[in-house]
């Protein structure tokens, strides 16, 4: 059995991705210009109740400030939702992984630490199991047409060409990839299908596509290469209108949009139930909403 074969499944997954800064759920464009949208716990619970298959929590400033501060959020969330939780941001050691899993996470997402020390993938997979170890790739297309990996939430170029990096990650025993198109993030321009084809051709492990999810047709096309879609803006701005009155904490970050109680019309929005209805109508195998 080849690396990653045991993780294959035809069941497609819908995964809300929640970017966290301090106590708040935030969202930006191209991983920048972060605006506060509300409480990550409230959004996660709402998504769980509306059919999400998993949740990704990403501390978007953890690597920059060399911290991981999601433990309390994870612990509170894990008491109320019963789907897998993946946590990323600032995880640099075996102890960090242990602490995040102990707080209630099911998987950890690694980027900066494994770019700087690829052997950490193998060490972590051996200790915690490959299915626990997710590697995140933040990628930007270069002027030469190739895709390159970045770290520190898209802030620092690594020089790693993505398909070569994917092959390396796979050989070291990671269980899953989350591939973010920084160029598309927050834009509603559509998931980058060319990028996904390149990544899928280079690996046997599950691929989670993230960055720019727009309409249902684009998501259907992305599922030809991806095993799961991680979605932020399209879900968050739909959910935001339902939950904004329940959120009161404004201790950190850009809260201007939250205080205005305006809607955001520049992003195409939809709900998980509507998306899953579409998948069912197009015979795409997925976990139905119970």
Active site residue ranges = 19, 138
Q: Which residues pair with 145 in a beta bridge?
A: none
Q: Can you tell me the distance from the alpha carbon of 83 to that of 90, in angstroms, rounded to the nearest whole number?
A: 23
Integer Cα distance of 261 and 86 in angstroms = 30
CA distance 230 to 248: 27
Q: How far apart are CA 169 and CA 136, in angstroms?
A: 10
Q: Are the C-beta atoms of 158 and 115 separated by less than 8 Å? A: yes
**Greatest C-alpha distance within the chain:** 55
Q: Exposed, middle or buried: residue 112 (CB in 10 Å: 0-12, 13-18, 19+)?
A: buried
3-state secondary structure of 205: coil
**Which residue spans within the chain are E strands per DSSP?**
13-21, 24-29, 32-38, 55-59, 85-88, 107-110, 133-141, 147-151, 156-161, 176-181, 207-210, 228-231
């Amino acid at each position: 059995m080849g690396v990653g074969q045991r993780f294959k499944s035809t069941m497609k997954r819908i995964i809300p991705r929640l970017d966290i800064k301090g106590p708040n759920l935030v969202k930006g464009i191209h991983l920048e210009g972060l605006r506060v949208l509300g409480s990550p716990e409230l959004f996660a619970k709402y998504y769980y109740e509306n059919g999400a298959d998993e949740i990704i929590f990403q501390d978007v400033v953890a690597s920059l400030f060399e911290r991981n501060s999601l433990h309390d959020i994870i612990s509170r969330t894990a008491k109320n939702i019963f789907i897998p939780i993946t946590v990323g941001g600032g995880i640099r050691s075996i102890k960090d992984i242990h602490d995040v899993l102990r707080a209630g996470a099911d998987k950890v997402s690694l980027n900066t630490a494994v770019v700087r020390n690829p052997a950490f993938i193998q060490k972590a997979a051996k200790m915690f199991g490959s299915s626990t170890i997710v590697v995140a790739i933040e990628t930007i297309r270069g002027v030469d047409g190739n895709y390159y990996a970045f770290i520190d939430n898209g802030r620092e170029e690594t020089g790693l060409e993505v398909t070569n990096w994917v092959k390396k990650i796979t050989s070291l025993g990671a269980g899953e990839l989350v591939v973010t198109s920084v160029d598309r993030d927050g834009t509603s321009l559509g998931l980058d299908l060319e990028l996904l084809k390149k990544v899928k051709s280079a690996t046997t492990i599950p691929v989670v596509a993230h960055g720019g999810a727009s309409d249902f047709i684009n998501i259907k096309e992305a599922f030809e290469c991806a095993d799961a879609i991680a979605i932020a803006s399209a879900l968050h701005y739909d959910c935001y209108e339902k939950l904004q009155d329940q959120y009161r904490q404004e201790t950190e970050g850009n809260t201007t949009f939250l205080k205005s109680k305006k809607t955001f019309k520049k992003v195409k929005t939809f709900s998980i139930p509507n998306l899953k209805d579409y998948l069912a109508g197009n015979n795409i195998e997925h976990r139905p909403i119970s």
